[in-house]
Chains A and B, each alone.
Chain A
Amino acid sequence: MVTHSQNQRESRSSRVRPYALTHGRTRTRHQLLVETMVSVSDYDTELAEKLLPESRSVYEHARRPISLAELSASLNIPLGVIRVLVSDLATEGAIVIHPTGQAYSYDHNILERILDGLNKLSA
């Protein structure tokens, strides 16, 4: 039996696909795993000044690609808060969320940084 929710899901995934090909993010449904990488593509000084302190440090740190785990560890901000801040910045278009599992799969350096960030988180 095909349920209503399954129907919904099918139509949703076909709508979501174009986003997946472009920036790896949907309108609101960001994949915000600990290993998800984010970065600022066009740094904007004016925007930076308007942000609340915590959002601003996320924005500054993401001027080079960085994982959520690293952000949380190096800024000493709980992961849940990092997820909210990143999601808000991404909704505004200030930060780019990289497709999960692609950006770093061949780059051991980044993988190590993430694991390092995770270690610090659990400490």
Chain B
Amino acid sequence: MRKILIVGAGQAGLQTGLCLLEHGYDVTIMSARTPEEIRGGRVMSTQAMFHTALQHERDYKLNLWEGRAPRIQGLGVSIAAEDGTRALDWVGMLDDYGQSVDQRVKMAGWLELFEDNGGKVIFHGVTTSDLDSLTRHYELVLVAAGKGELVQLFGRDPDRSPYNTPQRVLSVSYVHGADRRPEHPDMDAVRFNVVPGVGELFVIPGLTLSGPCEIPFFEGIPGGPLDCWSDRPAPGEHWKRMLELMRQYVPWEYERFKHAELTDSQATLSGGYAPVVRNPVGELPSGGVVLGMADVVVANDPITGQGSNNASKCAASYLESILERGGEPFDSDWMRRTFERYWSVVEPATTWTNAMLQPPPAHVLDIFSRAERNATIRKRFVNGFDDPADFGNWFLDPELAERYLREVDG
């Protein structure tokens, strides 16, 4: 039985650990927090996941909340006009539904499932000096510790990292009691509201500790009016401030949310980080090597809601590489190849996400506005959230986009 250590009990670490157990590997996960602490802690993400990523979970029966989480059947785009009305407003249908299960619910539950299935869990915030000796005791050490301090082991890859500073200031609340979006009261959809020059407001239907909820999520351009969280307001004040900003910039969403209330006392989050791609292999003073995964190696801005999807795809890709390796050593060459294989999956998502952080170019505005009366265009755009590789075939390139639009829209 090959002995594998995983540091970090998030989407990537737990999914990989649970799948490896299924294949008979001896897996230890080191988690900074116990399941109780995770459930009682702060929300961490908005974690909207689409079909391909969800299917990786289903393949290993990890979809424990599928029956209770709202089914995200579509994705809507609205663009605010100067006067508070909408210059544009449409919803496109996903081929297969997406879902968002509060990571507090999912990671706590998966951690317990991992223990029940015979995995070893050690509750400990791992340090670099811990890792230095631990590499000797395991055949493979995966670092799946998200954006925590251990990323320092992995140097930034400047060729793949166009940004040095945070491109958005993030602010999230989980709430109960919102009205349905009036355009589609019988259907759940992620809503993507753009306020040019100011930022974006996402709304994600999710499942939290106390049941189904809605998750409004501001992405503010630094220095603009949505960049107002550095005083870390208490949860009540945080939600009040978000509501006030909705009233001002996206009044149609304010109408839905004005009577909503926070789901719990830990239901708010604010912050920001610079998007980055890192070198995948961390070398320790003792000569041991560790392989980074998911957010540790590729952390994109959440503007396209891809991080959890990528974490799931990374877990699936690394799993294949580990299984194919059989009994051969997990050396640094293998680690680099393993990462490059995942990079071929995550590169399109990274390129698209980095592009979406810029003001939309003319051809993108053209796509969005023609989509309003053309369901085929809408459908292609929203299904790109599941498979971002398709954006390279049309959306990201003005010429390809024009050719496509001529084909489907005259």
Residues of A within 8 A of B (CB): 1, 3-5, 8-9, 12, 27-30, 32, 52, 54-55, 77-81, 83-85, 87-88, 91
Contacts and interface: CB of A to CB of B under 8 A. Distances in A.
B109 A5 contact: yes
Contact of A54 (B68, B116, B129, B137): B137
Contact of A78 (B65, B115, B116, B129): B129
A83 B211 CA distance: 36
Contact of A1 (B129, B132, B133, B211): B211
B297 interface: no
Q: Which of A12, A83, A84, A87 has the most CB of B within 10 A?
A: A84
23 contacts: A1-B211, A3-B210, A3-B211, A5-B105, A9-B112, A28-B119, A28-B120, A29-B115, A32-B123, A52-B137, A77-B133, A78-B127, A78-B129, A78-B132, A80-B134, A81-B133, A83-B122, A84-B5, A84-B134, A85-B137, A87-B122, A88-B28, A91-B120
B223 to A, nearest CB: 40
B177 to A, nearest CB: 14
A27 B112 CA distance: 12
B280 to A, nearest CB: 22
B39 interface: yes
Contacts of B116: 12
B319 interface: no
Interface residues of B, number: 34
Contacts of B182: none
B109 A8 contact: yes
Contacts of B127: 78, 80
Nearest to A12: B112
Nearest to A29: B115
User: Which 10 residue pairs across A and B have the least CB separation, nearest first?
Assistant: A80-B130, A78-B130, A81-B133, A80-B124, A5-B109, A78-B129, A83-B122, A83-B124, A80-B126, A28-B120
A77 B211 CA distance: 44
Nearest to A55: B137
A27 B154 CA distance: 35
A80 B30 contact: yes
Nearest to A1: B211
Contacts of A28: 115, 118-121
Contacts of B132: 78
A45 B117 CA distance: 32
Given A1-B210, A52-B137, A79 B124 contact: yes
Contacts of A87: 28, 120, 122
Interface in B101-148: 105, 108-109, 112, 115-116, 118-127, 129-130, 132-134, 136-137
Contact of B65 (A4, A30, A84, A85): A4
Contact of A4 (B64, B130, B134): B64
B209 interface: yes
B109 A52 contact: no
Contact of A84 (B39, B137, B210): B137
B115 A81 contact: no
B209 A3 contact: yes
Contacts of A1: 210-211
A85 B133 CA distance: 11
